[in-house]
Structure formats: C-alpha cells, structure tokens
Amino acid sequence: MTGALLEVTDLKKYYPVRAGVLRRQVGTVHSVDGVSFSLQAGETLGLVGESGCGKSTVARSVLRLVEPTSGQIRLDGEDITHLSKSALRPHRRSMQIVFQDPFASLNPRMTAGDIVGEPLAVHGLASGKELEARVAQLFEQVGLRPDQMRNFPHQFSGGQRQRICIARALALGPRLIVCDEPVSALDVSIQAQVINLLVDLQRQHGFSYLFIAHDLAVVAHISHRVAVMYLGRIVEIAGKDELFRNPRHPYTQALLASVPIANPLAKKLAPLVDGDVPSPVNPPPGCAFHTRCRFAMERCQIERPALLDAGDGHQVACLLNEGTGRSNATA
Amino acid sequence: MADKSDLVLDVRNLKTVFFTNSGLFKAVDDLSFTVKRGETLAIVGESGCGKSVTALSLMRLVPDPPGRIVGGSVSLEGTDLLALDETEMRAVRGNRISMIFQEPMTSLNPVMRIGDQIVEAVRLHRDVSAKEAQNIAVEMLRLVRIPEPARRTREYPHQLSGGMRQRAMIAMALACRPALLIADEPTTALDVTIQAQILALILDLQKELGTGLVLITHDLGVVAQTAQRVIVMYAGRKVEEASVEALFASPKHPYTRGLMASIPAVPAPGIAAPARLNEIPGTVPSLVRLPRGCAFAPRCKLAIKRCEAEYPPLEDCGGGHLAACWRAEEVAEVA
C-alpha cells in the first residue's frame, strides 16, 4: 500500500445566491461544507444522502468538473486542486465518470463506436484500425456486440446505453471511476445487470469507485465503505457491514429505518424523522441535523460536531456519548 | 371472504390500445381485478408494463388519440365508468375516484394557491358555500399533517417542499372522500425519509376513511410494506396475483421470482446480502412486436416449446394465488 488513491481534505463548495436588478449576493448555498475522505486503490466508497445533501457536487469537484471553493484533492499523492486545464489533462486519463441519465450523457449524433473511441482519439492513444479493434474489445467487455458499434444511441435500450457510458469510462484505463447514480434511471431487472457488470469490471481491473446513490440497498451491495452525507457534511463513515449493522448517527438510523424492506413479514415502515431537510442556503447552526433529531440536546444547536473516530473504523459526527454517537445497543 | 357489496372496484377484461406510427400496441390486455373497501392493491411492474395506463384507464384519462379503451368494464360501486358520457364521468372523477401522481409539481396548478385548488375540487362536487369549502381545505391540510394549515392554503405550490406538495395532492384527492384512490408512484420522486412519511400517511388516512387504494409502483419494498394484495404485470398483462404474504413467500411466475432475486437488500440482522445479484437477461420487449406465446419466454430460464407457441392462461395455484405460466407448479423446484 502506497497511501490512498484519492484523498479529499476539507472540501468546500459554496454557490452565491443572487437576487434583484443588480444581482447582488443575498446568500450562500453551502452545497459542500467541509468534506474529507480517502479512497484506497481497488476500493469502492459509497456516498449516500438525500437530494440536496451535496453528494453529486462532491463527485464533480473530485473530477474538477466544478471548481471547489476551498479544500484539497490529492490523486495518487499529487495535489490536483489548482492544476491548470492543460496540466490536469494527463490526470483526466486516470479518472472518469458515469452519469445517471444515459439518455442525456450520450451525443445522439455520434455512433456508439465513435462515442467510446473518442477519449482514445482525444488523448492520441490509438487511431485507425487499432482504435477500432480497441473499441470492439471495450464493447465486448461491457457485454455489447462489436457489430453494434455503428448504431446510434437511440437504437439502444436504457441498460445498453449505460453500458456504452461504462465502456467510454473504461477506454483510457482509469484508476478511479466516479459513478453518479448510475442505475437510478434503470428498471429493476436491468439495474442488476449493470451492478453486476460494475462489480465484475472492478474485479478484473482493480480500479476504485466513488459510488454516489440515494438507494441504500444498491450502495450496500456494491460498496466496501459507506459515507453518509447530510446538508453538505459527512455525518458518518464506516465499513459497509459496520455501518448497516451498527449505525451510530441518528440520521443514518432514520435513513435505514425509512427503507421499505421487500418482505411483508419484516417490521413495518417506521419514519424516525419528521419534517423536511432544511435549506442549504441557511443551514442550521451547530449540528445540521438537530432540527429533526429525536435526541438533540441544547449543545447540538451551538456546537458543530466533528467527524471523530468511534472505534472499528467507524467515524461519526455526533455529540451524543462524547462524540461516538448512539449505538444500537444503547437504544 | 367479503360479499359483493364490499367491492369498490370491479375491473373485467380491460383492454387499452394505442395507435402509433409503428403500429397498434396493446398497453393493457385483458386485465381483471377487484378492490374491496379499505383494501390496498398494489400493481407492480417495470416501465412499459401497462401499470400507469391501467390507472389512466380507470380514471378515463387515456389520451385519445392515440390511445383508446377498446374493451372490458370498470365498475366503481356498481356503475360502469366506461359506459358514462364525459359529463357524467366528470361528476365521478375527483369525487368517487381520484388519483395522485408521481410528480406533484406538474400536477398542481403553479399559479393557483393551494387552498383555492382544493376549494375548486370540493365545490365542483359538493354543494357547499365558498366559506365552507375554504374550511374543508384547511381541515384537509390538517388531516395530511401540514403544519399551519390555514397559512399554507394561501401559498403557491412552489413555496412548498416536495414532500409538502405531495401531502397537498393527497389532501386534494381525498377532499371529497372518494371510494377509490389511485396512487401512481406517489413517492418515487421523494427522498427515502419523506417517502416513509408519505406512505405512512396514505395508509393511516385510508384506514381512517375506508378508501380502497390502488397503489402503482415499481418498488417491491413499497409493495411489501403497504399492500394486502399484489398484481404483477408484464408487457400489458397480469402475470401473477396473490396476497402479499403468498407472493413474497412463494412467487409462482418466473418473472416475479427473477425480479425479487434481482433487488439488492440492505444488510440487516437476519437478512444476508447476496454476493451477486440475479440478472434477468435481455430487456422488456417492445409492445409493438410481442411474441405469440408468453411475452416473458425469451428472457425466461424455464421456457419450453409450448411457452413460445401459446400464451399461458391465469390459473389458480391454490388460495386465490393466480399465475400465468405453463410451468408455475414447477417454478419453486426448478429455479
């Protein structure tokens, strides 16, 4: 082990809110508010949270598709936070992304083969016959037939389009693939095909995934470690089994209790939280979750809990029990 | 079992087709089912299986052209809705039968106050003064647990959060105390903690008001936690129907079985996470070019010659558990 493949430290991304004729800034969206995590080679880190929690902004910041307000992103030990466009280009080869909507992320005027081959051509890695052979190989890897290279995106089903997106991401031999809700737009029976494909490819190539999804079951299936975000901050991060068996943050517990289990004999839906997620424009002071938390204390409204080690590779940002959160055992 | 008077909805041999440039397709083909007072029936299936068109057919809201209901009957409290003319239907819609949609933002009028939208629905069907209707609107918002209901009636949809909007939709749908409520993916656009709140709310209100509920969803978790009976649809047809317990305990159709094995589970004490998800190969067939026999046969591991030639009839496998599969009896052993 030579250290983490990806290391994100205190990442922040704020967006100004402008209003009025002069477009004066009237507020700030705290989209990502101090997020730190690391990702090892060959590992999958799941990032879960509800809409507006900043998980997609984290994904895009890591790839420098949005410029972070502050913080540091290190890829293979090298700080890429402030690299210029041209200096960043060689690094682009090692990090790729697969988006949620395979209908919006493929150019409808290009053939599937050209789409998958484009990264190779742009980086000058292959051309002519060699390019074609390489693309055909990529098609086979993701379960498409090479003779489908001449087809256009509209001739493919949703699941097949997502396979094209994955082939494109694979083309440059990346070491990190960011998956932003890659199966959310797919039907249940197709979801399983794509998830299995992602798992198989990781086993073959040993790259890392930063896997963003709102579906806890999907994240649980594919991840080695899972981070839970709420209003721009990571509230809990732990190994998969540890997190799901022994969630320590009241928000994680509420999230898990809200997932409908596909078993009519299992416990019925128990909403553990009321109300909505507060606006990220004026996030509550202290712990952002205190407005919905059943265990909130006075301290929680003032003091912002830091992400602290709670043992067993488990980190929690909660003031309960001296910063170790609330174990199920104490429930 | 319940007697006939308990039936709120009795659908028989419903057939809805669409005429398109690429040909005629049967979105709903020969669908029959019933809903009792206070009962929740879930219709589950993937995109294009006909579950939403079924909902629109019950409401008589299928866009015509290109769609048309070409056969069957939809009897609500003894009245065949398909035999009503548009004026008569309008008196029933939103009154005895109402619907909540997936996306509350597109189904609420953005330039009308929430309260006024409920008042409009109420005054259309009930002979009440504007003042009384206003009171009903506030009462309905309180019923769906919107805080400060009187103030909220004066707000516009964009001022509410997604969960609040869906609550307002439910308030509107239930304002006239319908006998049947159709919920088409009511929580798909919502976050999971909000989904849990909304589902709990729908079930509470249903119990309180005795409404029959048709819940349309693709999420087997939602089905397991809400429904009493379940219909599984594939390519426009009902392929299985059973009580929720029987369906999850022993699915008889290979499609249902495959679907259940393909969903990842949140690891919990007692639930082991599978190492690998089961895949159903291939994709949902195009409704324009359906195979002659069973529509699922090309994707089915158990398919035999007969499946390709003849469409299997729905047969009772015992206790009202229906499945349309030539090999339903063997599914448990073979798969």
Among left, alpha and beta (phi > 0; psi -120 to 50; other), residue A323 is left
Q: What angle do CA B161, B139, B165 make, to 5 degrees?
A: 15
Checking if the pLDDT of A166 tops 90, the result is yes
CB atoms within 10 A of CB B60: 18
Which residues lie across from A97 on neighbouring strands? A178
Q: How many CA atoms lie within 13 A of A49 on its CB side?
A: 28
Give the residue on A whose Cα is nearest the Cα of B246.
Answer: A264
Q: What angle do CA B320, A261, B332 make, to 5 degrees?
A: 45
Distance from CA of A169 to the nearest CA of B (A): 23
Distance from CA of B121 to the nearest CA of A (A): 27
Element housing B242 (H / E):
strand B237-243
pLDDT in tens, A78-118: 999 999 989 998 899 999 999 988 888 899 999 999 999 99
- A72 band by pLDDT with thresholds 50, 70 and 90: very high
Judging contacts by C-beta atoms under 8 Å, the chain B residues touching residue A51 are 191
Cβ partners under 8 Å of residue B320, min gap 6 = B241, B242, B243
Pick A50 or B13 by higher pLDDT. B13
- What pLDDT, on the 0 to 100 scale, is given for residue B2? 46
pLDDT in tens, A270-321: 777 877 888 888 888 999 999 999 888 999 999 999 999 888 889 999 998 7
Beta strands A308-309 and A315-316: pairing type? Answer: antiparallel
- What pLDDT, on the 0 to 100 scale, is given for residue B21? 85
The segments of chain B whose pLDDT lies below 70 read: 1-5, 268-274, 334-335
Nearest residue to A308 via CA among A245, A254, A238: A238
Judging contacts by C-beta atoms under 8 Å, the chain B residues touching residue A218 are 264
**Over residues A220-243, mean pLDDT:** 94
Which residue in the set A159, A264, A268 is minimally distant from B248, CB to CB?
A: A264
Cβ distance B195 to A221 less than 8 Å, yes or no, reads no
Checking if the pLDDT of A236 tops 80, the result is yes
Distance from CA of A10 to the nearest CA of B (A): 26
- What pLDDT, on the 0 to 100 scale, is given for residue B211? 94
- What pLDDT, on the 0 to 100 scale, is given for residue A136? 95
Where do the domains of chain B lie, and which CATH numbers do they carry? 1-96+178-263 (3.40.50.300), 109-176 (no CATH)
User: Alpha-carbon Rg of chain A, whole angstroms?
Assistant: 21
* Domain boundaries along the sequence of chain A: 227-331
Judging contacts by C-beta atoms under 8 Å, the chain A residues touching residue B195 are 258, 260
- A331 band by pLDDT with thresholds 50, 70 and 90: very low
**B28 exposed, middle or buried (CB, 10 Å; 0-12, 13-18, 19+)?**
buried
Three-class secondary structure of residue A7 per DSSP: strand
**What is the pTM assigned to this prediction?**
0.87
- Letter for the amino acid at A225? R
Could you give the CA distance from residue A282 to residue B128 in angstroms, rounded to a whole number? 43
Which residue in the set A189, A245, A262 is minimally distant from B267, CB to CB?
A: A245
DSSP structure string for A89-117: HHHHTTEEEE-S-TTTSS-TTS-HHHHHH
Q: Give the torsion sign (CA, B286, B289, B295, B298).
A: negative
State the best of B262, B278, B300 to mutate against chain A, taking most chain A CBs within 10 Å.
B262
Q: Is the ipTM of this complex over 0.85?
A: no
Cβ contact B34:B7 at 8 Å: yes
Distance from CA of B329 to the nearest CA of A (A): 22
Q: Look up residue B42 and give its two tokens.
A: 């879930």
- What pLDDT, on the 0 to 100 scale, is given for residue B328? 87
Cβ distance A189 to B284 less than 8 Å, yes or no, reads yes
